[in-house]
Structure 1
């Protein structure tokens, strides 16, 4: 079956085999507007080292595309005729990773350059029942490597040493026309790697490109294949979508193409809410601002914002059933993470960050005794505080609570004591206004003070609230 399909592609005008016969167009990179000072030193040194050892070495993929669009590339990939073992031997700080698609990570300081060997077109590649390639470590020529790449705009090869760009598939033309075009037969190429459909959504949202009709046509029918993508790869691609600087636009594009099912449990809920009004909309807008201003993004914080609404909803349900607030929040977190873990392989480190950010939220409501002093020294305090501010902007917690913590973290010891006294007085006044029943509950059975005792008091108070997301 696979061989017949390959034969059909070879004989058809869109077949990748036929595309291999093309000679590349050559351009001076500087004449296309590429500035060498926008190329990272790590990428430049990687190419120079490989070339001095007698190998070909070209920057390829998104880095070249972004340079030609006068955008700052987030990372640089290098393609070479050297095998992974040969690359590994040339760079002391490098390691070979991957099984299905073996590559080398080369480190220059804190910068990581991904180096891949030119791949051959395989007529008998091992695939699963859906056509996804399972093993892909057969080396080939640069022309074959270009024909195997997904879109024409990603099949450009740039030699920063020689100031040369090679274009096998009219990628420069499509960049100028802002058109996204698949190399080869789109249906076959999407089956080989369904992640390519997610990239379509990202490029349309991020770059404002239009999709060539033949490339767009099969996506709706093939969208369910995304569910067969390994969860780790799906997580990586989802992270690229969310840190593209156009996160909400990417999510809307996913839904337009029917690619969102099963990726995030609450994605439909997010997209049905008016832009700019929901907690997630506000959080993604802030993420986009950070990306565009070239500031760092924490994946743990980002996914904490994306999954907060189902966590908060289940937290409210448990508290309404009479469960103590802190254990109820912990159980809600466990249920959401377990459900999500079946789809996106969020790494343990990020999961730990998410849990800490979430579990800090009820602690921000404790503003008496020693609790604020301990919280402000927490390793993840800044992330938890930023999360609180997002909740405040979305109307989940009072502005007064956010202002109090803004003042507290920047205050000296005396000012902090005054703020705690102010919060204590306000709490006492609220308790008096609530009547004797609330006062009796606060006095029940507690002999000691300190953070542990206050924590029990706050839990008891939270149980009286219909919404644990609202500050006391």
Structure 2
């Protein structure tokens, strides 16, 4: 099947219940309630999209979406537990406790009298609320695998665009002209990668071909939307596959430009090995139903960029402590122009980076202070990740792994301070050579200069 609008047959293929493996027992009871109530009110209603696709290949969907010819206002009139959302796409959310059944009205590509559609100068769709028939709705969906409709009245699957065969053949194929569809919504390129990684599908040659030359269009996508897409891509158990597909299809420089540049110039390959190991670890934690945090994920994804920026600053003579913070700030700021990383994740991410040099310290007070740091565990896990790619931090890893097993008092007795006072990353002064000095130090009184402010600050360094 070629990917042109003229090749799409609008006569549906009806896949009878006996020919597919979808059972109502695998469908959310709340989704079934919505389907039956819409049908009883005289409207068409189908389970649609990813849920149908996943059920066909034996997966268990988390979300169940419904498509209908009822308008959002008509849906709201039927369900007291319904709210309407969205401007670009007007949708009805029917809320059942923690589960939300999303109900969308059939949409059409051509503008009509019962809705509105707006396209930007670059071809992106900025508003799409033109309603139509189920045939119209099928044609305007992105991939054939997502354009399948499960009918509750006879338990059949309705296929208007060849999606059933593509699901069985494990293929992601675009509906319509790929270049036009990507220009309408550049994030479709990321969706192709994410779904291919999640489902183990291949992206058809026609859909994959234009991606490298159109990847730059992602710079025009809303950064907040790209952040959400990254979470779906990297925190769903298929992070490593997603990353490899981003690389293979030329999307990595568009999404993480500085990381891509750093990986390309890292001749040893250690940064790439570490990053891939971090993504594998994330996948393993998700498979084991363990918690994961975007802060640690982005710390791994942007670590190559941070290392490159830090090396550039140190080469130019910037003080190491200043260079560390400045490099962290610059990488975060530059990445935020592409992906809107919230501060609740970017600040812990930076802390994980900035704590890494402290693992090379063996002075008693600094060791005890680092062990009590609220971000110690995440930073130590990151040290372990670094050690998986290079032997340079093996000694540090062994020390801190052992330090965590020690009783604090015994560990303190083992550590004799050997370094002269110097300022730590957080500006606190370290301890000197006096092994027995564990109490508070007596503050030295500074003599006031004539005309100087209390404390000796005359404002010259303000």
Q: TM-score range by the shorter chain?
A: 0.7 to 0.9
SS in 1 for 2:254: coil
Match in the other structure for 1:443: 432
Q: Which runs of 5+ in 1 are unaligned?
A: 1-11, 433-440, 454-472
Aligned pairs for 1:34-433 within 5 A? 34-40=22-28, 43-44=31-32, 46-47=34-35, 50=38, 55-88=43-76, 95-123=83-111, 125-158=117-150, 163-265=155-257, 266-270=259-263, 274=269, 278-315=273-310, 318=313, 321=317, 323=319, 325=321, 327-362=322-357, 380-395=375-390, 398-399=393-394, 401-403=396-398, 405-406=400-401, 415-422=407-414, 424-425=415-416, 428=418
SS in 2 for 1:281: helix
CA shift, 1:170, in A, is: 2.2
2:296·2:349 contact (CA, 8 Å) conserved in 1? Answer: yes
CA shift, 1:42, in A, is: 5.3
CA shift, 1:302, in A, is: 0.9
RMSD across aligned positions (CA):
4.0
CA shift, 1:323, in A, is: 2.5
Separation in 2, partners of 1:383, 1:56: 51
Relative distance call for 1:300 and 1:159 in structure 2 (3 A) is farther
CA shift, 1:155, in A, is: 0.6
1:371·1:450 contact (CA, 8 Å) conserved in 2? Answer: no
Q: CA offsets, 1:274-302, max 9 Å, x none?
A: 59963212111112223344444322221
> What TM-score, normalized by structure 2, do the two folds share?
0.76
CA shift, 1:233, in A, is: 2.1
Determine whether 1:27 maps to 2:20.
no
Relative distance call for 1:139 and 1:272 in structure 2 (3 A) is farther
1:371·1:451 contact (CA, 8 Å) conserved in 2? Answer: no
Larger radius of gyration, structure 1 or 2? 2
Separation in 1, partners of 2:255, 2:159: 35
Separation in 2, partners of 1:269, 1:90: 55
Separation in 2, partners of 1:254, 1:451: 54
| Total equivalences in the alignment | 424
CA shift, 1:271, in A, is: 6.5
CA shift, 1:239, in A, is: 2.8
Match in the other structure for 2:424: none
1:130·1:191 contact (CA, 8 Å) conserved in 2? Answer: yes
Match in the other structure for 2:455: none
Separation in 1, partners of 2:54, 2:73: 29
Which structure dedicates a bigger proportion of its chain to helix?
A: 1
CA shift, 1:346, in A, is: 1.7
2:14·2:159 contact (CA, 8 Å) conserved in 1? Answer: yes
Separation in 1, partners of 2:381, 2:309: 22
Q: CA offsets, 1:380-435, max 9 Å, x none?
A: 55433422322233337634544555556566xxx23223333x14x54xx59xxx
Quick check: 155-164 or 383-392, which moved more? Answer: 155-164
Q: CA offsets, 1:176-218, max 9 Å, x none?
A: 1222222222232222112222223334444343333433443
Q: CA offsets, 1:61-94, max 9 Å, x none?
A: 2222222122333533333334334445666666
Match in the other structure for 2:423: none
SS in 2 for 1:245: coil
Separation in 1, partners of 2:241, 2:198: 8
